Chains A and B, each alone.
Chain A
Amino acid sequence: VIRLPSNHAAITAPLVASNTRFPGIPIGRSLLDGRPFHLSPVLAPTSVLPSTNSLGLGGLGSGKSTTGKVRARREILDHGHQYVVIDSFGEDSAGGEWAPLTCQLGGTVIEAGSFTLNPCSTMFPPEVREQLVRSLIAAVEPAALSHQATHALQHALNHPKATSLNGLVDALVSPEDGRWPAAKLTHWGEGAAIALSRYTEGSLRGLFDGDSASLPETDLPILSFDFSHLDRNSPAIPSLMAAVSCWAEHVWLRQSTAVHRHLVLEEAWQILLSPATAELIQRLLKNSRKAALSLDVLMHTLSDLGDGKAQDLARLCEVAHVGRLGPEEAANVGALLGLPDWAVAMIPTLDPGQAVWKVGPDYVDVIETVISEEEARLTDTSSRRRQAQQAAAGAVVDDEPESFVVLEKESDSDSHHSKQGSQDEYGDEEHEECGALMTNLGAPLEQDTAEDGGDWDWEMPPNVIDTRHQDVLQAAREGRCSEAAQLAAIGEREDINAYGINSDQAVSWLATRAQVAELCGDRDQAAQLRATVARMGKDVEWWQRQPGDTGGPAWHSTPEPPTPAAPAPAPHSGGEGLVKPRRRTWPYVAAIAALGIVGGCVVQHAHDEQQAQQRQAKAAAYKGRSGTTLHIDGVAADVVAHWSSDRNHVVVELRSYFDKNAKFLRIDATTGQTAQSKREDNWFPLTPEIVVPVKDPLADVTVRAAVGGKTWHEGMKPDSREVRLSPTGVAYDAETGERLPSDL
C-alpha cells in the first residue's frame, strides 16, 4: 500500500474521458480519447447550439473541404437535408470540386458562364426582382443607387418590356411617363442603366441577360454553383453571389420542403471580402435560424477578413473546425474563436483530415474525419490530378481504374433508386453534364484495361515509371516555374521520406531542381544546387550519363528498383574466370591438434585417475600383514610377511612350526635377501626370516620359499614355490597368479 496525501493521490484517479456526445451524423474519431464524434448541429438542443452555422478553417490540404463534403453527403443520405454549394475552388475542368459528389447524390452542377440567369424572370415575385436587380447594381456600382435611381428602377420594372435585363435597360433608358415625367425618370435612371449595361453589353455579359424564365430546381438534394472557371478577383463573383443569395433567400428557402437546408460557401473569403456580398451573407447568417438554414463556410483563415467581420462571423458560427494552420494564424483564430491554449497549440501539428472542433461555447475536441473508401473517391481531388498526370505520361496506374468502376456503378445505382420522380425534371442538360463528367472520369479505365487485355485479376505492381521528374521539367519548360518548383519540392519530400536524405533518389531531385532553376533563368540557384550535388559525393551531371538516353539530357535519374538477385553461378566447368577461393586449412589443423591434445590429456588423466583409484582402494584395504600356507615336499609351511610400522621394510618369515618332516627351510627375496635354516640335532629347523626394504608400502612383495622334506638331504635342491604377498592380506602364487589360502 502506498500512502499519499490526498491531493497527490487524486492525480492517480483514472477519470479521463467524458461522455458528452451530440446527436447526428457520424463525423470522425476524437484524437483526444478515441471516442466517435457525431454532430448534426440542427439536431442539437437549442440550449447547446443556439445557431447551426458552421465555419471550417484550414490551410491548403488540411482536409476542410473533404470534411465539408462528407458532412454534406451524410446529412443528405441520413437526414434528407438539402444543400446548395457555391464552389469557387474547382481544380480541374470537370465542374468544380463538388461535382463528383453532386452527381453521385443526384444533384446538379450549374456552371457559371454556361448558365444565364434572368433576374427579371416572372418566376420571382416582384419585390424579389427589384431586390435582385438592386443587388446586381450594387455589386458593380455601389454608388449608383440613390433615391431617385431606385425610383426610376422601380418604375422601369413595372414596364411590360422588363421581362429580361435587356428590356429593363431599355425601359430605364426610355421610360414612359409615370408619376414623374419621363425626362426626369430618364435622368434618374441613368446611373442604374449604366450599371446594368455592364451585364448586357459589358464584361459581364452572358451571366444575367438570358430571356428564359427558368430557375434552378429547388427540390434537388444538392445543387452546386460552380464558379471555379472565374478568376478569383473577377467582378462577376459578387454579382453572381448576389444573384445566388437572392435566389436562395427568396426562391429556394421558400419553396424547398426539406427539413433543413445548408448553404455551403467554399473558399468563402473572396465572397466575404466584397462588401456587397458580405452584407448578403451576413443577412443570411442572421436569418438562418428562422429560415431553417445553416451556412457552412469553408475558408483558409479568418485573418484575411479583418477584425470586425471575422469576429461577427466567429460569433455567428457556433460550430467551427480548424484544420492545420501556421502558428501565428492558429493563435489569431484561437483568439477569435476562444479556443483554449492546448487546442491552439495543436493546430499547427494537425495532419490532413484532422481538425480542432469547437461546438457551442465550451466543447473543444480534436477530430479526425473518418471517411469510407467511397467517400474518399468522391472527395479526393488530388488523386484525380495524379491520375490525370499519369495518364498523360502514359503510365499505368495501379488502383485508380477500380475506383472509377465503383464510382460509376454507384452513381448508376444511385440515379436508379433515388429521386426517381424528379429525374425528368432535371432536364437533359444536367444529365448530359453529369454523364459527360462520368465518362471523363471513366475514360482512363477503358484505356488502361484495353492496354492490359482486360485482365485485372492480379495486383498491378507499383509505378515503375517515375514521371515526376519529367512533369516538373515539362512545367518548367512551359514557363510555369512556380508550379514546377512546388512539384519538385513535393517529389523531393516524398523521396526523402521514402528513401532517406542521402539517397540517390533525393539527390536526383536536386539535379532536377537545378535544371528547373536553369530553365527558369535562375543560374545562381542552379549552380548552387549542382554544387550541393557535387558535395554530396555525386558527379554533378551523373544523371546524364545513363545509357540508352536519346532525347536530350536525362531528366529521369531515379535508380532502378532493385532487381532480383542473379541466380547462383552454374557449376564450374571451364575454370577460367572462376577463382576458387583459398581455403584456410590451418585453423582446421590447429583445431584437430588441439582436440588430439585434449583427448590425450583426457585419456591420460583417466588412466591416472584409475590408477589412483585402485591405489586408493588398496590403501583402504591395507592391513600390513599377509600370509599363506604352503604344502611343499610334504611339509606344511606358512609364509608370513609383516610390513613395518614405518612402512619402509617388510619382514618375511617361513614357518614350519613343529612339522617333523621339515628338514630344510630357505626363503629368498627377489631383491637378493636370503635366509635358510637346517634341521640340527634332530631339532626342528629355525624359522628363517628376511628383511626386505620397500619403497612403496602398498606394493606386493615376492619371495621364493624352498622347503626340504623327509627325503631331503644335504646338497640336494629343495622344492620351492614363489609367492607374492600383498599388504592387503592376500597372497598369490607368483607363477600362476592364483590366490592362495590364508594362513589364519
Chain B
Amino acid sequence: MYSLTPGYRLPAVQRGLSPVETLLTKLNAGVGGAVLMSAMLTPPPAWTFGAVGATAALLNLAAGPRSIARWAAVGYRHLREKTAPDMADDSGATRTWALYPQHGTMQDPQRRVAFHQAFSNALTFAAGQARTAGIQVHVTHHATVGDYTTHTQTVSVHVPKGLAGQPERVIDTLEGEFASLGALLTIAPDPVPAVVDRGPGWVGLGDGRYASTARITGWPDETDGDLMPRLLLGHKSERSLAVLYRPLPAAQSRRSAKWQIAAAEAFTTDKIKQAAHEITADTMRGALVQGAILVDVDAYLTVWGDGPESVSEARWQASLAADRHRIRLDWLPGQQHRAHVMTTPHGASTRKGAIL
C-alpha cells in the first residue's frame, strides 16, 4: 500500500530523540532548574503555587476528550473551517475541459497502457511548465446512474498566481497536450451547490442531494492498470471520484526521491519492509531515469443519495467496494461540508491541505 503514514513507525524510545527534541529537553531542564533554584533563594508569594498548580491540573489532570485544551483546539478549528475553502478567490488561472478517451481504451490492455503513458507524459509536461511545484491537474469522474449511466469526466488545470509569468499560455500549452488523450472540450463547470443540511458523516446540498465524501488514503499495491475501470464502471450507484495531481518539477522530484529513499532506508528496521522499500526505490529510480517525475496524488470519493439514510447506505456500500479494491478510505469527519467540493471541478484550485 502506498500510504499517508510513513513506513518507518518505530517506538520513540528505540528511535531516540531528534536533535531538536534533545535541545528542547535540555532547555526545559535548565529553565525548570533555574526557577526552582530561585524559589529556594526567595520564596515566591503563595498564590504563585496556586496558579502553577491550577495550570498543571488543567493541562494534565483533565486530559481527554473533554479537556478544556481540547475544547479550545476544536473550537478554533470550527471557527476556521466553518465554511468551504474559498474557491472563488482569484488566486490564479484555472480552466476546465471535458475529456473522454476513445471508446474501448480502458478495455484493451495495450491501448490502456498507452493511454496511461500519455497521461503520465502530460503530467510530466505540466510539471515542466514552471520552475517550482504548484501547477495542479484535477481530474473528476461523475457517474449518474439510472436506466443508463451518464459519465461526466473533467480535467482542470490550475496555475497559482505568481507561479508562471503567463499562466494562460501554460494552460493553452497543456490543452494541446490533453487533446491528444481523447475528445477534449472546454466547459464552464456548474457552481458548487450550497450546503443546506449537515448530519453525522453527510451533508445535504442545495440541489436536494446528499453527499458523503471520503479521502482515499491508500491505493492497492498491484494493479494491471485497470483499477479505475473496475472501480468506476459497472456499479449501480451514483458516485464521484476526483484526483488532484500536483506534479513536481524534475529537479524537485529527484531531490524528493533522494530523501524519500534515504529516510526509508534509515528508519526501517524490519528486514522485509526494508527489502520492499528497496524495490519501491528501484522502481521509482527507474521511472525517474525514464523521464518521469513525482506527483502528489490526492484523491476523493463522494457518494450520493436522496436522503440521509440512502447516503449512509451508499457510504456503506462504497466502503465495501473500497475494501474489495484494496483502497483505504478516510471519511473526513468534521470536513464533510467542505470535502464534497473536491469531487467537483472547483477542487482544482484548492491549496495543499485545504481539506484535511
Contact = CB atoms under 8 A, between A and B. Distances in A.
Interface string B119-158: 1100110010000000000011101010111110101000
B284 interface: yes
Contacts of A364: 103-104, 107
Interface stretch (A28-36, A64-72, A530-538): A28-36
A14 B233 CA distance: 10
A464 interface: no
Interface string B3-33: 1100000000000000000000000000000
A17 B233 contact: yes
Given A14-B228, A18-B102, A32-B233, A6 B293 contact: yes
Interface residues of B, number: 71
B256 A12 contact: no
A4 B139 contact: no
A344 B204 CA distance: 45
Contacts of A31: 234
Among B148, B219, B247, B287, chain A packs the most CB atoms within 10 A around the CB of: B148
Interface in A326-347: 340-343
A11 B116 contact: yes
B153 A3 contact: no
Contacts of A343: 107
Contacts of A578: none
Given A33-B233, A35-B149, A2 B106 contact: no
Contacts of B180: none
A19 B107 CA distance: 15
A343 B116 CA distance: 21
Given A1-B298, A17-B153, A340 B104 contact: yes
Contacts of A29: 147-148
A2 B233 contact: no
Contact of B99 (A8, A15, A365): A15
Interface in B100-122: 100-109, 115-117, 119-120
Given A36-B148, A364-B104, A2 B139 contact: no
A589 interface: no
Contacts of A737: none
A13 B116 contact: yes
B120 A10 contact: yes
Contacts of A32: 104, 106-107, 233
Given A17-B153, A35-B148, A3 B100 contact: no
Interface in B277-318: 283-284, 287-288, 290, 292-299
A171 B352 CA distance: 96
A13 B248 CA distance: 17
B119 A15 contact: yes
A34 B297 contact: no
Contacts of B140: 14
Residue among B124, B141, B297 with most chain A CB within 10 A? B297
A16 interface: yes
A19 B100 contact: yes
Interface string B222-239: 010101110011100000
B2 interface: yes
B260 interface: yes
B174 interface: no
Contact of B124 (A3, A6, A11): A6
A574 interface: no
Contacts of B241: 14
A15 B296 contact: no
A6 B149 contact: no
A20 interface: yes
A12 B227 contact: yes
A18 B106 CA distance: 9
17 contacts: A2-B2, A4-B294, A5-B283, A5-B292, A6-B287, A9-B120, A9-B295, A14-B141, A16-B151, A18-B183, A31-B234, A32-B107, A33-B233, A34-B148, A35-B149, A35-B150, A340-B107
Nearest 10 pairs of A and B residues by beta carbon: A34-B149, A14-B141, A17-B151, A5-B287, A18-B103, A19-B100, A10-B120, A10-B119, A9-B295, A10-B116
